[in-house]
Chain A
């Protein structure tokens, strides 16, 4: 997030797109509810009439995968109505002239033809956000899990840049991160393109620094993403170390994924349960869980916080850091002689400019949001205040693209996927917590009641749902949350493995899977 969580109470216009925040980030959503109670206007763009849509003043029910078109249409209106922030554009950005010319063709009427959202509602949304004193954008995977995830994010940045809704209290571009330490996983350099602290691996200065620190010559070319690695399993990838991910259930195209992992010569999984993924491994190493492990995590607002052990682990389970160190030591890799997580975190801080002012003891109370470039720095709750990291904010002349697969005669229904409030990911945790079943005992496919009728199905009945990749059986549930022609299911229940169906395409830059769009066919059993 560019802005801190406390800012969520402060905007006067809130634009939420592709975020089911009341279910997926419920505590963050309380901030938005407070802003609304104080008079803020809420615009929600989502294919489904989610909880946030019920709270909204303006709901834009766009067709799945049409976000870029909606955002281009909004940019067109903001420019047309003269709601741009000329000072901001002049002083803080580059490329506006080209962008201004580019968006003149993308009228709200054109956007309506792509998104299905009435042009006048697109105009209203643009005018509210454009005229706001403090306009803030919040988004989640509904923006990024598309083949055009990058264009979607760039389109949101365009809106913030042309209106100057960034770098001030109650504004910003705010992605909500989905896992307790997914931000930390990126911060620490578990990425094919960056060393810890987002230092590019292609920069010879960084390469030299880590060669010195690790005593090893490291490639100055980017590695491959997990998606590519899974594609190459059995061809050129032959061994994998997977820490705490149930790849088989959480990733798209399960059959492809299972085939990939099975074709490895050597698979080592570190986890707390014998997950579906672990069951394929040659070696399974039991890790300590949350509540048993001392360590550090970083939240969605870049706040670096301590996790602490409260109880001993079961059996002989050990912390992940100990397990990885032991493997490394057996391979005679230098620099894995750790005895505490504190040593590891402090090493990370020394090598990472965004953590340079931090150490294990300083983060005890969780006061710091990175970047914290030196020991006297108070941390950075808000990014982009006086300048952008790379100097000027760049307008992107993006174009709308269709999803990888669009509905057809064979697969006439849009399936979109996500999470629910009561279950988390592949239910390795929530599925084993007493009481959760009372609220959500099973998965069901959310279908508009009129579609059910049309497809000869009744509420609660089982149906067969197929995509170009596979078929599953799932119970249907009648609900107005789903618009006509679009259905929704979560990927949480392994007995309803929705990711057998998904995996139609990937963003070419981030290689994020298009989990939000999958044309399917639905038939009674």
Chain B
């Protein structure tokens, strides 16, 4: 049976179990949200996703309301939009700043974008600020809770997506704080520094300390993004490498990564400095008669590499040459390693590093 409802005067179909927000988003309706992350259970905390439901006295939160047959929904009436603007102004009034650097995290500008879109007056409800920024000497996660809006996305991603439950909510209402067990450092908690909390935070209250190293030199429009696969284990998480002026400045998880759906671990999220480390080999090296390694040109190095194989082949035959391919290099490298041995010497004297 096809289920039907109306959204903004258009008849739409939906499947059993879908929320009003999901149906509306599928039909390209732009409903603002702050506490919503489609990987997490709906929470209904920020109330920005309210819509009008015909027959209901008050607006409903579309993220937590299941679609039902015959519903008539209006997503952006004047009244609803006014409510949303007021809600945003109330939230903004408690925060130290709104326009944070986008390098704080993947979702860090969600609040700023909505504030601009609704042209809010930050001083409308000005008064007491909430949230206390934590001093935490860890090198990865900035805990700037003066920007926290108590959407609990960090707490929920840590529990639901990571299963780590490293952080939780203390107190209620205006005095709400996000804390670790015993309110200590992240290092002393169950935190694994996967960075998921940073990337889901919609205000930049949690920030990527490593990416922020480049904040002074880089603005939003100068950040390049390149989709690739993480350099570490075999899970094959998709990531976006953030770049500026030929430098890697950070990593974002790819929310649509087929193997990870936005999840990462500490290595994939933070362990990328090796690429542009000063220890990198920059030029070929050959060992000369003095027994030492010397920098040289590609031509000399490649000639020497090839000559050595030729000499050994002529002296000791084809079974004296062996190739070890890498499990870290791309498949083109391992394919050519085996082709080099097989097409070059006619043997199967080739292996990769999987036996150790």
Interface residues of B in 302-328 (CB under 8 A from A): 302-306, 308-313, 315-316, 319-328
Which of B210, B234, B277, B306 interacts with A432 by CB under 8 Å?
B277
Q: Are B274 and A429 in contact (CB under 8 A)?
A: yes
Contacts of B246 in A (CB 8 A): 311-312
Q: Are B281 and A180 in contact (CB under 8 A)?
A: no
Contacts of B151 in A (CB 8 A): none
Interface residues of B in 230-266 (CB under 8 A from A): 230-238, 241, 243, 246-248, 257-260, 263-266
Chain B residues with a Cβ closer than 8 Å to the other chain, count = 112
Q: Are A320 and B234 in contact (CB under 8 A)?
A: no
Is the CB of B169 closer than 8 A to any CB of chain A? no
From A292, which residue of chain B is reached at the shortest CB distance? Answer: B275
Contact of A333 with B340 at beta-carbon distance under 8 Å, contacts A274-B279, A283-B286, A435-B270 already known: yes
Interface residue stretch chosen among B78-86, B124-132, B342-350: B342-350
From B236, which residue of chain A is reached at the shortest CB distance? Answer: A299
Is the CB of A361 closer than 8 A to any CB of chain B? no
Give the shortest distance, in Å, between A309 (CB) and chain B (any CB).
7
Is the CB of B175 closer than 8 A to any CB of chain A? no
Interface residues of A in 297-334 (CB under 8 A from B): 297-301, 303, 305-312, 314-321, 323-328, 330-331, 333-334
- Bound Cα distance A510, B352 (Å): 12
- Bound Cα distance A321, B333 (Å): 5
- Bound Cα distance A265, B201 (Å): 57
Interface residue stretch chosen among B24-32, B101-109, B115-123, B221-229: B221-229
Q: Are B238 and A366 in contact (CB under 8 A)?
A: yes
- Bound Cα distance A350, B326 (Å): 22
Which of A217, A237, A300 interacts with B234 by CB under 8 Å?
A300
Is the CB of B273 closer than 8 A to any CB of chain A? yes
Q: Are A237 and B320 in contact (CB under 8 A)?
A: yes
From B304, which residue of chain A is reached at the shortest CB distance? Answer: A283
Interface residue stretch chosen among B55-63, B89-97, B186-194: B186-194
Q: Are A240 and B324 in contact (CB under 8 A)?
A: yes
Q: Are B355 and A266 in contact (CB under 8 A)?
A: no
- Bound Cα distance A187, B354 (Å): 12
Give the shortest distance, in Å, between A26 (CB) and chain B (any CB).
4
Give the shortest distance, in Å, between A302 (CB) and chain B (any CB).
10
Interface residue stretch chosen among A75-83, A243-251, A456-464, A467-475: A243-251
Is the CB of B271 closer than 8 A to any CB of chain A? yes
Name the residue among A26, A196, A294, A312 with the largest chain B CB count within 10 angstroms: A26
Contacts of B279 in A (CB 8 A): 273-274, 432
Which of B293, B315, B330 interacts with A320 by CB under 8 Å?
B330
Chain A residues with a Cβ closer than 8 Å to the other chain, count = 149
Which of A215, A282, A296 interacts with B330 by CB under 8 Å?
A296
Contacts of B139 in A (CB 8 A): 434-435, 438
Is the CB of B177 closer than 8 A to any CB of chain A? no
B interface majority secondary structure: mixed
Is the CB of A11 closer than 8 A to any CB of chain B? no
Binary CB contact string for chain A from 212 to 231 against chain B (1 if under 8 A, 0 otherwise): 00111111011111110100
Contact of A243 with B326 at beta-carbon distance under 8 Å, contacts A331-B309, A430-B274 already known: yes
Give the shortest distance, in Å, between B335 (CB) and chain A (any CB).
4
Contacts of A196 in B (CB 8 A): 335, 338
Give the shortest distance, in Å, between A512 (CB) and chain B (any CB).
5
Contacts of B302 in A (CB 8 A): 285, 323, 326-327, 330
Contacts of B232 in A (CB 8 A): 179-180, 424, 429
Q: Are A314 and B276 in contact (CB under 8 A)?
A: yes
Interface residues of B in 271-297 (CB under 8 A from A): 271-277, 279-287, 293
- Bound Cα distance A315, B353 (Å): 27
- Bound Cα distance A281, B323 (Å): 14
Is the CB of B1 closer than 8 A to any CB of chain A? no
Contacts of B304 in A (CB 8 A): 282-283
Is the CB of B146 closer than 8 A to any CB of chain A? no
Q: Are B281 and A286 in contact (CB under 8 A)?
A: yes
Q: Are A265 and B312 in contact (CB under 8 A)?
A: yes
Contact of A421 with B192 at beta-carbon distance under 8 Å, contacts A193-B348, A433-B273 already known: yes
Interface residue stretch chosen among A27-35, A96-104, A108-116, A382-390: A27-35
Interface residues of A in 187-209 (CB under 8 A from B): 187-193, 195-196, 201
Give the shortest distance, in Å, between B51 (CB) and chain A (any CB).
29
Contact of A315 with B283 at beta-carbon distance under 8 Å, contacts A180-B328, A190-B350, A243-B326 already known: yes
Interface residue stretch chosen among A122-130, A341-349, A398-406: A341-349
Contacts of B312 in A (CB 8 A): 238-239, 265-266
Is the CB of A183 closer than 8 A to any CB of chain B? yes
Is the CB of A336 closer than 8 A to any CB of chain B? yes
Q: Are B332 and A5 in contact (CB under 8 A)?
A: no
- Bound Cα distance A422, B267 (Å): 7
Give the shortest distance, in Å, between A180 (CB) and chain B (any CB).
6
Contacts of A262 in B (CB 8 A): none
Give the shortest distance, in Å, between B241 (CB) and chain A (any CB).
4
Is the CB of B331 closer than 8 A to any CB of chain A? yes
Is the CB of B140 closer than 8 A to any CB of chain A? yes
Give the shortest distance, in Å, between B351 (CB) and chain A (any CB).
4
Q: Are A218 and B325 in contact (CB under 8 A)?
A: no
Give the shortest distance, in Å, between B303 (CB) and chain A (any CB).
6
Give the shortest distance, in Å, between A49 (CB) and chain B (any CB).
16
Q: Are B329 and A433 in contact (CB under 8 A)?
A: no
Which of A240, A245, A291, A331 interacts with B326 by CB under 8 Å?
A245
Q: Are A180 and B305 in contact (CB under 8 A)?
A: no
Q: Are B233 and A24 in contact (CB under 8 A)?
A: yes
Give the shortest distance, in Å, between B317 (CB) and chain A (any CB).
9
Give the shortest distance, in Å, between A182 (CB) and chain B (any CB).
3
From A328, which residue of chain B is reached at the shortest CB distance? Answer: B340
- Bound Cα distance A160, B29 (Å): 47
- Bound Cα distance A344, B354 (Å): 22
- Bound Cα distance A411, B329 (Å): 39
Q: Are B285 and A327 in contact (CB under 8 A)?
A: no
Give the shortest distance, in Å, between A226 (CB) and chain B (any CB).
4
Is the CB of B6 closer than 8 A to any CB of chain A? no
Q: List 27 A-B contacts (CB under 8 A).
A: A5-B259, A180-B232, A216-B346, A218-B347, A222-B348, A223-B351, A224-B322, A239-B320, A245-B326, A265-B312, A268-B308, A283-B304, A284-B281, A293-B329, A297-B236, A299-B234, A301-B259, A306-B229, A308-B226, A311-B247, A325-B336, A328-B336, A344-B336, A345-B335, A348-B331, A366-B259, A434-B273
